[in-house]
Each structure stands twice: as structure tokens, then as C-alpha cells.
Amino acid sequence: MSDQSWLAQFGEWAEKLSDDELKRAIEFMNEEYRMRYQRAAILAALNFKPGDWIENLKGSRKLPAGARGHIVAIKLDRVEVHFPDYEGLWAMTPTLIRKVDGPPAGKDCKPH
């Protein structure tokens, strides 16, 4: 089944629900999504260890995509990463980073 036909069926199903039923269904799906995302983050964190060099996959206002840093600590569903070029420590979700071989080229950065 294509995404478009599935979405059309979902839209038809949602139209048949009362406002209260639709609200409860959306709350349930939101909670399910949040739990799946958190589970994915926990599993991803198992692939890292403190001292590993990583690359940020998704840019933000203060930290661009491709920034390299090293993992300082691993929490339940987050990793704390030090980015020497940006002089900061970020708590990041492990699903948005990937392991790389070492520090940025031309840098002599040592993990804490």
C-alpha cells in the first residue's frame, strides 16, 4: 500500500471519529512515537563509548551539521559531546550523530 493511499484511509477514518475520540487517538499516537524515538536513542547509545569521535548529522543555530566532537559521557537516551571547535558541551540524541575515525583534520584534540 502506498503512503498516499494509507494517508487517505487514515483521513477517512479520522473524519468518522468525534472530537474527543480523535484527541485521544492523537495523544496515543504521540505517546507511541515518543516511546519509539526514546527506545531508538537508547539502542543507539549502546554503539558509543566515552572518547569516541562523532560527527553531528543535523545542524542547528549554534552547531552546524558535520561538526566533530568526542563523547564525554553517556546517559540513558542522550550522549554528552564536547565540540572543541565550538567550545561547548552538548547533550545530543544518539540518533543524530555518527561515529568517525578521529578529530577534525589538522587538529590535535585530545578527549577529556
Distance CA 79, CA 91 (A): 6
Instruction: Tell which wins on pLDDT, 42 or 18.
Output: 18
**Above 80 in pLDDT, residue 106?**
no
Place of cell 507511541: 32
* Domains of the chain, earliest start first: 1-103 (2.30.30.30)
Banded model confidence at residue 75, pLDDT cuts 50, 70, 90 = confident
Q: What is the 3-state secondary structure (H, E, C) of 55-73?
A: EECCCCCCCCCCCEEEEEE
- How confident is the model at residue 33, as a pLDDT? 87
Residues 53/70, Cβ–Cβ less than 8 Å: yes
Chain centre distance of CA 75: 14
Banded model confidence at residue 8, pLDDT cuts 50, 70, 90 = confident
**Above 70 in pLDDT, residue 108?**
no
User: How far from 108 is each of 34, 75, 100, 111, CA to CA, in Å?
Assistant: 39, 27, 15, 10
- How confident is the model at residue 34, as a pLDDT? 87
- Mean pLDDT of all residues in 35-49: 82
Q: What is this structure's pTM?
A: 0.62
pLDDT 10s digits, 13-33:
889 989 999 899 899 989 998
- How confident is the model at residue 86, as a pLDDT? 87
